[in-house]
Structure formats: structure tokens, C-alpha cells
Amino acid sequence: MSAPNKSYDPVEVETLKPEEIERMRDEALAAIASAADVDALREVKVAHAGDRSPLALANREIGALPPHAKAEAGKRVGQARGAVNQALKARQEVLEAERDDRVLVEEAVDVTLPYDRRPEGARHPLTTLSDRLADIFVAMGYEVAEGPEVEAEWFNFDALNIWADHPARTMQDTFFVQGKEGGKDGEESGVVLRTHTSPVQIRSLLDREPPVYVICPGRVYRSDELDATHTPVFTQIELLAIDEGLTMADLKGTLDHMVQSLFGDDITTRLRPNYFPFTEPSAEMDMVCYVCRGESVGNPDRPCRTCSSEGWIELGGCGMVNPRVLIACGVDPQKYSGFAFGFGIERMLMFRHKVEDMRDIVEGDVRFTLPFGMEI
Ligand code: DAH
């Protein structure tokens, strides 16, 4: 900065010459005009209107001028700085408006775009297994049949040869929806939550002319507590084949084919005598343990948790359809015979996939179902 000097003429101070002030102003205006955005303009502002800008420095020189020259120089510099500040302000407004318009376009959110934030679920392994079983039979020409879960007592028991005081009826703890009118036998049937899928056998025979080949998956109910091994709601799969000349050998071959499709070619079944009112003779069916293949039996060095070292896994009940059932459905037992079987799918799911607690199957937690993935 120059020191005060009384003999000073303003035109002699280089930076205060009118042309020089004009040049500074024009340079500033040109820079302002060419600033492309708000950030560039901020830099222009520092360079041309800041404390160390040429015009600010020139302004400081005024103090060193003789009093008579101060006013004129002050006016000149003041006007130039005023013009620059005005131009800055105007350009700032223009650039801010441009920026806002651009941001509105570039950062626009399309609120109409579809979105999906729900985590993906999975099919329940019971459904997958039930479909898989049904597919095995559909491939052999069977038809999938369904019946109601709220079922007439007549279909659930009577037509299946389980009459009112039949001991088998107490084997199945039943949820009653509506009692039998007047407690009498006969026409008036009570209403129950079906205790097994066997009533679909009756419905299928009443609906169709033989030959009948049906597979019936579905939910069934019994008044059990929910714990690690029981559930009041579970799933069964029922099979019925009625044709001319069907024998127990056909039943055995069908069971073998089913377990081989699911567990491997060398897995077979065995039948143990049992009693069911709707089949005669009746049997309990077991399959060879697909984990140890019987090698754990009598072999303490190689215990098998899947079959408890028994070598066999119990699947369900089966037999030749009782002629009484055929008669109840209007089918001639002299001409037709057939076989049936039924079993719970939860049990199969448990040993097939090492599910140890029944509650995991019924609770519907996706953390249980997800790891099963999709089975095709
Ligand atoms: N309905 C029987 C139950 O729930 C299972 C059963 C046994 C089904 C023998 C059948 C069969 O079709 O033939 O315990």
C-alpha cells in the first residue's frame, strides 16, 4: 500500500486510472458472465470482489490520494465495484435457478415406479413333498382328488365301516363341529373335522365309475396337543385304486415304486399284519431305512438315528379295500377289488430332512422353510 503523499495526482496512481478501473470492471463482468455454475461463480467472486481482488486493492489506494482527488477516484471505484456486485448478484440468481431446474430433473423420483421390498418367502416343504408324491402317482395315471376338511361323520366314519360304537372310532380323537341329531344312527350325520383323508376314498367312489385311481393329499385334524412329536393339524396322503382283478401284489408293487421314486432304486417295503375297518386284509407298511439300509440292526458300532437301528421306517397303513366299503359306495365287490393306503407326510418330512421338532413344521417361520429351496 502506498504511503500518504500530498503531491499525489490520482491519475498518477496506476491502479486508479479510469482506463485501469474500467479494465478491472470489464474483466470482472466478463468472468461473471462466463461462470458456468454456482461453484465457478463463487471463485469469480473471490477473485473479482473479494478482499484481495484488483478493485478492492485499488479502493485501498484511495486513502493515499490528496483530498480533492479522493472523491472522484472513490466514485469511480465505487461505481465499478457496484457494477461488479450487481452483476454477481444477477448471475447468482440465474445460475441458482438453472441449478434448481437441473436438480429437479436429474434427481427426480418417479413415485409411480413399482417397488417390492417384501422379502421373498418359500414354498412350505410339506407342500413340496405332497406335490412330489402326487406327481409320482399322476405319472402312473392317477388323478388328484380332494374333499372337504369339515366332513360329514358318515363319510369320515360310517361309510368306511367304522360304525358308531366301533372301537376304531376311539382311536381317532375327533373334533366335532356338530353332533348327530338326537344321537341316533342312520341318516342324520354329525359334522366333524376330518380325522383322516380316507373319506376322500368314499367321495371319489361315489363320484366316479370304476376303474378309479386317485391320490388324495390333504389336511386332517385330531385333538392332540402340539408338541415335538404331535400336532392337532397334520397332512396325510391317501391312495385308492379300484379295478378288476387288483391284488395285494399290485399294492406292494405300487408302494415299492413310491419309495423308490423318493429314496432310491434299492429301497423296498414290507407289510406287517394290522387292522383297519376299511381294509381287509390290512397291513402296516414299512420301508427299508434309506440311511443305514438295515446295516445298523444288531450293530452297536453303527447306530442309525433315522430308524433307531431298527432297519425299517414305519410309513402308514394299507390294505385291500373292504367289500363293505365298496358296497356302501355302490360298487360291485364281485366285479371289482382294490387297494388303499394312507400316511402322514409330516413324519416323512421329519425323517427325510432330519426335522426334529414338529412345531417347526407348523409355525410357518420362513427361516424354517427357506433352506428347503425349490424342489423341481
Ligand atoms: N386312515 C388311516 C389313518 O388315518 C390310514 C389308512 C390305513 C389309510 C389304511 C388307508 C388304509 O387308506 O388302507 O390312520
pLDDT in tens, 103-162: 999 998 888 888 877 777 788 999 999 999 999 999 999 999 999 999 999 999 999 999
In this structure, what DSSP letter does residue 291 have? T
Q: How far apart are CA 299 and CA 282, in angstroms?
A: 32
Alpha helices by DSSP H, listed for 189-336, are 199-207, 248-263, 323-328
Cβ–ligand 1 contact at 159 (below 6 Å): no
Return the pLDDT at 4.
Answer: 53
From the CA of 201, give the closest atom in ligand 1: 12
- Checking if the pLDDT of 84 tops 90, the result is yes
Ligand 1 within 6 A of CB of 277 = no
Cell of 72: 472522484
Cα gap 170→193, rounded to integer Å: 15
Identify the helix (H) or strand (E) that includes residue 143: strand 143-144
pLDDT at 376 over 60: no
Confidence of residue 12 (pLDDT cuts 50, 70, 90): low
Give the closest residue (by CA) to ligand 1 atom 7: 317
The model's confidence at residue 302, banded by pLDDT at 50, 70 and 90, is very high
CA distances to 128, 192, 236, 298, 312 from 349, rounded to whole Å, are 10, 27, 12, 26, 16
Atom of ligand 1 nearest to the CA of 197: 1
Q: Which residues contact 348 (CB under 8 A, 6 or more apart)?
A: 129, 315
Encode burial over 252-281: b for 16+ CB neighbours within 10 A, e otherwise.
bebbeebbbbbbeeebebebeeeebbbbee
Instruction: Please give the grid coordinates belonging to residue 17.
Output: 486510472
* Residue located via cell numbers 385311481: 213
β-bridge mates for residue 176, sequence order: 192
Ligand 1 contacts CB of residue 198 (under 6 A): yes
pLDDT tens figures, 219-254: 999 988 899 988 999 999 999 999 999 999 999 999
HEC string for 31-49: HHHHCCCHHHHHHHHHHHH
Q: Are 176 and 156 in contact (CB under 8 A)?
A: no
Helix (H) / strand (E) element for 126: namely: helix 125-138
With a cut of 90, say whether residue 163 has pLDDT above it: no
- Return the axis-axis angle of helices 345-353 and 125-138, rounded to nearest 10°: 110
User: Is there an atom of ligand 1 within 6 Å of 318 CB?
Assistant: yes
Which of helix, strand or coil describes residue 156? helix
Is a pLDDT exceeding 90 seen at residue 173? no
Give me the DSSP letters along 57-74. HHHHHHTTS-HHHHHHHH
E-strand spans in 244-354?
A: 269-276, 279-288, 312-321, 337-344
C-alpha cell at 190: 354329525
Computed over every residue of the chain, the mean pLDDT equals 90
Strand partners for 233:
221
**H or E element at residue 218:** strand 212-221
What is the whole-number distance in angstroms between the Cα of residue 92 and the centre of ligand 1? 86
364 falls in which pLDDT band (50, 70, 90)? confident
Contact 233, 193 (CB under 8 A): no
**Helix H segments across 239-338?**
248-263, 323-328
Q: Which atom of ligand 1 is nearest to the CA of 198?
A: 1
pLDDT at 5: 52
CB 264 within 8 A of CB 256: no
Per-residue pLDDT at 188 exceeds 70: no
Quickly tell me which residue has 427299508 as its cell. 288
SS3 of residue 308 by DSSP: coil
pLDDT for residue 222: 93
Tell me the residue type at 156. N
Is the whole model's pTM more than 0.85, yes or no?
no
Nearby residues of 239 by Cβ (< 8 Å), 6 or more positions away: 137, 142, 214, 215, 216, 254, 340, 341, 342
Whether residue 196 has its Cβ less than 6 Å from ligand 1:
yes
CA atoms within 13 A on the CB side of 148: 9
Q: Please state the rounded mean pLDDT for residues 289-318.
A: 93
Q: Torsions phi, psi of 131, nearest 5?
A: -65, -40
* Chain position carrying cell 430433473: 105
Residue with CA nearest ligand 1 atom 12 = 341
Question: Closest Cα to residue 312, out of 268, 248, 355, 273?
Answer: 268
Is pLDDT above 60 for 186? Answer: no
Mean pLDDT of 35-48: 94
Calpha distance 10→61 (Å, rounded): 9
